[in-house]
Structure 1
Amino acid sequence: MHKPARSLGQRIIWACVILALLCAALFSFFNVVFVYTVEDQFFRHQLMDEEKRQLQQSQIVAPLAAGMQIFQSPKDFPADLQQQFEPNTQRTEYSGEQGRHYHIRPFHHPSVKAPVWLVAEVSQQLVVRPIRDEMLLLYGISTLVMLLLAAALGFTLARRATRPLTQLAELVQKNQFSPGFAQKFPANEIGVLADALEQNWLRVQAFIEREQAFSRDASHELRTPLAVIQTSCELLLNQQWPAEQQQRLEQIQHSSRQMNQLISTLLAMSREQHLGQTETIKLAGVLEQLVLNLSPLLDGNSIELELQVAPDLEVQLNPVLLQMVLTNLLQNAFLHSAAGTIFISADSQQLLIQNPVHDDDQPTELTALFAKGRQSSGYGLGLGIVQRLCQQTGLELQLERQAQQLIVRLIWPQL
């Protein structure tokens, strides 16, 4: 049975954890951007205030703020700033050597033709950078705590939400239904599903009981007249009759045997639960007994039988099922074989029945009829039933036409 790679509960937990991780990462990113933006705006406003003060003076004067200088040209910048300076850009922030950090602002002063530059070295005034590692550590710890809380919340939700569904799935998997099992589930979508499942299960159980009762009654009603027919045929065959009447009586006897076997097969198929009980069976003994029982079908025909099965060969199958399948296959081979040799062999992998067929039997017709589960008048009765029996227990039935030979392979289930 196929099992999902991840349960529904695990998916709920992972969804909560991933959502918490995304939210924590998003808000941490916004917070970092916010504090850096606030800090940059603080220095920008300092430079703007100094620019206003300078414009109020007739000449350029020394800035009031510590770490702030005025330069006539970028060539006069400090060496570390001059190395990184990018002219013709709007960049106003540069990192220098030995932890220095610069903010610059150009402006025009009436006393000077060329623009002048306000440069503020703000490394001693930075607030975010000194606590950046601690801030990131705090974000990481907070994110981890949020993930643990999200996992706990997801586990709680998943357990509450999926426990009834898991119990229902176990009931379905183990087939441990009992009347009224839907009442144990809560009155939500799972309860509705359980109630619908119980109603359908009760309907199926009622249908199975009706079918089994009908099969028992039909089997009993059909066996009684068949027993009378078989007994009458046996009594009549003990007397001397003309060849034509003798042949008719034998045909009636063979048909009644086939009908009796068909009834037994149908009755067993209606009780599928009994076909799963397996035993270790010596195949040679079963085949020899069946060949002996069906040997009257070969009387009067130019047919020889060759049986090659090791005496110690064993198979693990239900004995009733094996007998029904082999009986149908052997009857088919004995009744509808052309003159020649029927070859039967078996090994640990498969059983092989090979019998000659008439020239007018077409393999395409056999294949089509067998695929549709119907019976061919040229190849016997019961192939569809045998196919269904094999499907129930893992057996594989293969039919193949080679030249004037019909090859039937019954492949044993692999343990």
Structure 2
Amino acid sequence: MSRRTIGIALAGVTGRMGYRQHLVRSLLAIREQGGLELPDGTVLWPEPVLVGRSADKLRAIAARHGLERWTTSLDEALADPAVEVYFDAQVTSARIKALNAAIAAGKHVYTEKPLAESLAEALDVAALADRAGVKGGVVQDKIFLPGLRKLRRLIEGGALGRVLSVRGEFGYWVFEGDWQPAQRPSWNYRRADGGGIVLDMFPHWSYILEGLIAPVRSVYAHAVTHLPERWDEQGRAYTADADDAAYAVFELEGGAVAQINSSWAVRVYRDELVEFQVDGTEGSAVAGLRECRVQHRAVSPRPVWDPDVPNGESFRGQWARVPDNQEFDNGFKAQWEQFLAHVVAGTPFPHDLRSGARGVQLAELALRSAREGRRVEVPELPR
């Protein structure tokens, strides 16, 4: 086997997601397994180049993992001919400028979502990549996770029949930051910095619904800021003016209806931080990030409404666990492997920049729906 090295500039690697999921659990994990074997037998070896603003943090990460390359200059990283891919996990407000620079330098681009703060910017960067002849991809990690992969198996295998509806619950209580440190960075709650749960999470709902069932054709959303005051990383109070919760109804192509609640101001009473219940003519399923349970029509119980007597049914116990039937790799790593194979070997990769633009479009239309208090159609993206 021959080995081919591919340089990857990673911006935002000092952040939690960029470091844990993309560097350690994806690219370094690919190296630990001996590289990525391509269809022709070539072994692809990712060579990370860390990019960020803090030299001290970059130096420490590089030393911790035995990496040689890091820089505080994006221009320097993009000028390196050995760097073929640019990856972005920065704050959303800094993303488009960096992606445009990488494309202008002839680099393939892979980025966290949301792709941009507006649909116009998202479409512009997708068109720029097309004109430059470079490949682009957007992280859409949730559909690579075990729970949703098992849910897809049920849907594609016909176990649920015609899908009627989807109910999704996502969220957890993010501490305000005064008496306990917040679990999320403060920029998430400032509109001027690109914060807000709609822009953060609706791109996920876009590709999940499209990938599992059908594209979204209309949205009605109510977005709110439940907690208007929070405290930042330095313990200073600030005005949280970005939406921290959203309640939405999506109509899907083909007639199915999805209802998804998204909140950073909710306490968890469910098995996982996100769960989707899909009801169909032949059965129903409930999927989280890792687990999935199913109930077929032939074994569906016959509940009877009687509020005057104690409930004698164990509703959760009436569902069957969907078996793994395989080993599931880290979802971020699985998608990294697909994207790198796409770049080098030209294998299919559906999670392109226009797919990312559809997620931004849904977020933008949901915010319009919330402002105007009405249902909004989701048109096809312009070419």
Q: Name the TM tier (shorter chain).
A: under 0.3
Structure number with bigger Rg? 1
**Structure 1 or 2: larger strand share?**
2
User: What TM-score, normalized by structure 2, do the two folds share?
Assistant: 0.21
User: What TM-score, normalized by structure 1, do the two folds share?
Assistant: 0.20
